[in-house]
């Protein structure tokens, strides 16, 4: 071998080794810091997601990242979730635009913490089972997210969950979703908790704040704040095309075993709607100034095999309203079974005329209280805690104890 050829080979080896080392250094800085990936660009974020393994944590640096991020089969394991989080929760990264901010297909054991999603065309965050109804997405945690300005026209959702089981949505803020969409829309979801969130929009724009339908069951909506959160602040049930029900064939109800407890509702045409429900409990909530109804009992899915809306319980709530704004307290549609509902121990007060506080209900109420001021601390500033000596003590959102909370 001539000296020149040896030098060339040596240079090639050095360059190759340098590239390998550079790759190792990039991988070390992005992923292998105790399985933590610090990313600062959209490319690095997508690469880290595609290479994530059970136990990986992807920490997203402050900045603006282009939306439209689509990832399939992102899967952690029990005790080893894949975590996507803000590197600095006090300065969260912004995922801006895209058809969807982030779309996860068929994930499992995934947590997303402290990210902001703004301006997606269709959904801010979309998580689904990829159409494989027998293998749902599962064990998902969404915590500390902010989702804003989605759509705005049409059925566009802040957070969309389809075929997701065993999940938690906690301490999130969703503002201004699609004009016919929901802050959180659940289709065929099971064993989930939505708690500590804030939902804001307008009373008559946005179909719903939180919607749970399509065969969903065992969902708890707890200690959230709904500020003018669409026409129906919580839509328990709804109307779902048959092919989208999970499980299949459709179980004969839109929603079953749903609990709505410890929430504050301000405004909305109807804070609570039971729609094609087979059992739901609405208890220990504070409802302030609804614009048309307090409760709706409806049946929108009428195909053969579906039960009529039935077995709802509305108990231990504080309801404060302007009598001149309320069309009727409880709006009952055709095909429902309102006589199967229970109303008990609710506290009703008409601000404009306490003598008109007694509601018109489809059944007799048990131990209701009517016409007394609940004595909120400062309702004009949104403080609905009760003053000492309130006659509404033991009722409403702040009376729900940890022991009484649904699991």
pLDDT for the residue 258: 99
Phi, psi of 343 (to 5 degrees): -120, 125
pLDDT value of residue 244: 97
Q: What is the CATH number of the domain that holds 262?
A: 2.160.20
Give the integer Cα–Cα distance in Å for 107 and 128. Answer: 8
Q: What is the pLDDT of residue 159?
A: 99
Residue-wise pLDDT for 118-151, tens only, equals 999 999 999 999 999 999 999 999 999 999 999 9
Q: Quote the pLDDT of residue 107.
A: 99
Whether 193 maps to a domain, the answer reads: yes
Per-residue confidence (pLDDT) for residue 193, from 0 to 100: 99
Whether residue 28 lies inside any domain: the answer is no
Buried b (16+ CB within 10 A) or exposed e, 195-223: bbbbbbbebeebbbbbbbbbbbbbbbbbb
Mean pLDDT of 205-220: 97
- Bridge partners, residue 330, by sequence: 295
Residue 217 included in any domain: yes
Structure tokens at 170: 């906690």
pLDDT bin (cut points 50, 70, 90) of residue 402 is confident
Select the more confidently predicted residue: 248 or 12.
Answer: 248
What's the rounded Cα separation, in Å, for the pair 131 and 358? 48
DSSP E strands in 90-215: the ranges are: 94-96, 100-105, 108-113, 116-118, 123-128, 137-143, 146-148, 157-162, 164-170, 173-175, 182-187, 190-195, 198-200, 208-213
Residue 27 has pLDDT above 70, yes or no: no
403 or 400, higher pLDDT: 400
**Residue 401 has what pLDDT?**
85
C-alpha span between 237 and 260 (Å, rounded)? 13
In a domain, 39, yes or no: no
CA atoms within 13 A of residue 150's CA, in its CB half-sphere: 40
What pLDDT is attached to residue 97?
Answer: 98
Average pLDDT over all residues of the chain: 93
The 10s digit of each residue's pLDDT in 298-339 is 999 999 999 999 999 999 999 999 999 999 999 999 999 999
Provide the pLDDT for residue 243: 96
- Residue-level pLDDT at 105: 99
Q: What is the pLDDT of residues 224-234, one digit of tens each?
A: 999 999 999 99
Full residue range of the structural domain in which residue 352 is found? 66-399
Structural domain includes residue 61: no
Q: What are phi and psi of 4, to 5 degrees?
A: -65, -40
Dump the DSSP string for 269-305.
SEEEEEESEEEEEEES-EEE--SS-SEEEE----STT
Number of folded domains in the chain? Answer: 1
Average pLDDT over residues 200-208: 94
What are 217-256's pLDDT values in tens digits? Answer: 999 999 999 999 999 999 999 999 999 999 999 999 999 9
**Minimal CA–CA distance to 208: which of 158, 141, 133, 163?**
158
Dihedral in degrees, nearest 10, Cα atoms 335, 337, 343, 347: 10
Q: Residue 26 above 60 pLDDT?
A: no
Summarised one tens digit per residue, pLDDT across range 257-290 is 999 999 999 999 999 999 999 999 999 999 999 9
Cβ pair 247, 208 in contact under 8 A = no
Residues in the chain: 407
| Spatial separation of the C-alpha atoms in residues 242 and 215, rounded to whole Å | 10
Contact 138, 110 (CB under 8 A): no
pLDDT tens column, 327-378: 999 999 999 999 999 999 999 999 999 999 999 999 999 999 999 999 999 9
Residue 49 lies in a domain: no
Cα 5 to Cα 131: distance, rounded to the nearest angstrom: 58
Q: Which residues pair with 238 in a beta bridge?
A: none
Q: What is the arithmetic mean of pLDDT over 60-74?
A: 99
Would you say residue 254 lies in a domain?
yes
């Amino acid at each position: 071998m001539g000296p020149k050829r040896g030098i060339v080979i040596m240079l090639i080896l050095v360059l190759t080794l340098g590239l390998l080392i550079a790759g190792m250094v990039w991988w070390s800085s992005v992923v292998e810091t105790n399985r933590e990936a610090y990313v600062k660009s959209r490319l690095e974020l997508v690469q880290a997601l595609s290479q994530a393994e059970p136990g990986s944590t992807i920490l997203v640096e402050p900045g603006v990242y282009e939306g439209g991020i689509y990832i399939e089969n992102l899967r952690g394991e029990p005790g080893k979730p894949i975590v996507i989080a803000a590197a600095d929760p006090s300065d969260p990264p912004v995922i801006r635009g895209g058809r969807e901010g982030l779309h996860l297909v068929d994930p499992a054991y995934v947590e997303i913490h402290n990210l902001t999603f703004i301006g997606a065309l269709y959904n801010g965050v979309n998580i689904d089972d990829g159409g494989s109804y027998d293998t749902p997405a599962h064990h998902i945690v969404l915590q500390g997210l902010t989702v804003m300005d989605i759509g705005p026209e049409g059925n566009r959702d802040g957070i969309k969950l389809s075929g997701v089981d065993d999940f938690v949505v906690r301490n999130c803020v969703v503002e201004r979703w699609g004009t016919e969409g929901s802050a959180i829309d659940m289709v065929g979801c099971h064993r989930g908790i939505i708690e500590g969130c804030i939902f804001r929009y307008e009373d008559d724009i946005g179909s719903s704040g939180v919607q749970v339908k399509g065969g969903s069951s065992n969902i708890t909506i707890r200690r959230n704040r709904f500020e003018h959160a669409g026409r129906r602040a919580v839509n328990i049930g709804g109307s779902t095309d048959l092919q989208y029900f999970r499980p299949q064939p459709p179980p004969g109800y839109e929603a079953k075993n749903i609990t709505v407890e410890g929430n504050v509702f301000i405004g909305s045409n109807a804070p609570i709607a039971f729609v094609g429900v087979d059992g739901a409990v609405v208890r220990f909530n504070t409802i302030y100034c609804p614009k048309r109804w307090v409760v709706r009992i409806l049946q929108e899915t009428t195909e053969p095999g579906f039960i009529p809306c039935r077995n709802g319980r509305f108990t231990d709530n504080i309801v404060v309203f302007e009598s001149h704004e309320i069309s009727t307290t409880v709006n009952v549609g055709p095909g429902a079974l309102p006589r199967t509902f229970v109303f008990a121990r609710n506290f009703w007060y008409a601000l404009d005329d306490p003598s008109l506080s007694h509601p018109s209900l489809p059944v007799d109420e048990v131990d209701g209280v009517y016409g007394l001021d609940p004595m909120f601390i400062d309702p004009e500033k949104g403080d609905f805690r009760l003053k000492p000596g309130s006659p509404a003590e033991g009722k409403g959102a702040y009376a729900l104890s940890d022991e009484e909370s649904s699991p």
